[in-house]
Structure 1
């Protein structure tokens, strides 16, 4: 879809198809939401969480941003969109799981690598992906056959680590009422990789 008219036609198809068959579900959702899972994913148009997890409306609370990043907890003045979403998901919706989902060919990760070569990208992108600086420097220090993929994995682990700096997240994780997970989606292959919570290594989820 590339034009507003195509978007409108997509809506009309939705009304004739999906909505027609799920109108009762949408009526129920109109009274409120109660998802068990929060997904923090990249804004990339090729990695759609609802499609990848075959989820129906109302099942996932989704936040998408450049490079699926979560900043560390802080209370300084400013606009904290991701932090606000995490707070709402954890304290109001009381989700039981938060999944950080990265993906192959991430432009935000590429921007982080470019910054390491003194080629920062974007007025707003460069400061945002600086959240990856520590992980990026470690990846480059050790040297990988594929620094892009290595940093995509490391970025997921970094966001999970940052989630634990939020007091209300840490409290619930330690109480056993909230679990944090990492995932990575290989777009061309349609493969989901899951992060082992102990080793931090990723492996393919059996289809």
Structure 2
């Protein structure tokens, strides 16, 4: 695995990370609600850490080699993303409320974040569809090491972007409820668009 391959992966990965979705919604909700966005972001990263461990164990390669299983996972993930996006459009305030629980501890916030990223269709797309395309079995690196490196790069990208999103939500949107609702509506629309694109690509392409 050379630097060109890593640069190409980072370009695609950052494009996905910068696309608003469920993770963004959770980070924004934490920024509007909590004193610190760190527990929420840590939870999101923990979900991707779980995916990375599964990928290093070889599950990603197994899934990628089974078109029918990959199609089923992609369709389920895309349908979930479109449902979530529709829910956000119908009830834009629900983005912050969905991340909210009375008396939630930092641990509960982290666990909820791990669940959100663990069910995020973007994770299915990244780990099961894109990872295998950047792994070179003949590169002299063990496949597990290459997979682990890609997973770590993704988690670092997520940590930087989601921390920034949460902090910006606190400083810019907290005093502007109408702007916060507009941002969540855009996020909901993006979720539906991404889900539709994934469905079309998998079922038609």
* TM-score over 0.5 for the pair: no
For normalisation by structure 2, the TM-score amounts to: 0.33
- The structure that is strand-richer by fraction is 1
Higher RCO, 1 vs 2 (CA within 8 Å, ≥6 residues apart): 2
Relative to the length of structure 1, the TM-score reads 0.33
